[in-house]
């Protein structure tokens, strides 16, 4: 018998305020089991996306040191900016 796997959910915080977005994602990490997480921040500008992905990756790493976050981003610049700050749990997808 075949079993369908659930589709991977993508967390999309629609706030344009980066502090609210960080709070939303960190709250999600605290309240739900999300060792592997997909987050869409492609609507954010480069600086806000760097801010959000850096802080939330740190929060996620504290709870899930072997987990991964897949960040859907709008620019390669975000990946380049964060490459020296990475904890090893972030992947950036254009």
pTM score: 0.87
Q: Where are the extended beta strands (E) located within the chain?
A: 10-11, 36-40, 68-72, 90-93
In the predicted model, what is the mean pLDDT of residues 14-21? 93
Q: Is residue 8 very low, low, confident or very high in pLDDT (cuts 50, 70, 90)? A: low
Task: Over range 36-46, report the average pLDDT.
Answer: 95
How far, rounded to the nearest angstrom, does the alpha carbon of residue 61 sit from its chain's CA centroid?
A: 11
Return the domain boundaries, the chain.
12-93
- CATH topology (fold) of 12-93: Rossmann fold (3.40.50)
Q: Phi, psi (5° rounding) for residue 39? A: -130, 130
Q: What is the pLDDT of residue 84?
A: 87
Cβ(71)–Cβ(81) below 8 Å? no
Contact indicator for 77, 47 with CB cutoff of 8 Å: no
Q: Over the chain, what is the mean pLDDT?
A: 89
| pLDDT at 5 > cutoff 70 | no
């Amino acid at each position: 018998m075949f079993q369908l796997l659930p589709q991977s959910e993508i967390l999309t915080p629609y706030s344009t305020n980066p502090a609210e977005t960080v709070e939303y994602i960190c709250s999600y990490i605290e309240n739900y089991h999300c060792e592997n997480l997909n987050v869409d921040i492609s609507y954010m500008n480069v600086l806000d996306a760097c801010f959000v992905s850096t802080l939330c990756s740190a929060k996620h790493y504290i709870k899930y040191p072997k987990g991964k976050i897949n960040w859907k981003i709008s620019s390669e610049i975000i990946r380049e900016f964060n490459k020296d700050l990475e904890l090893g749990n972030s992947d950036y997808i254009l």
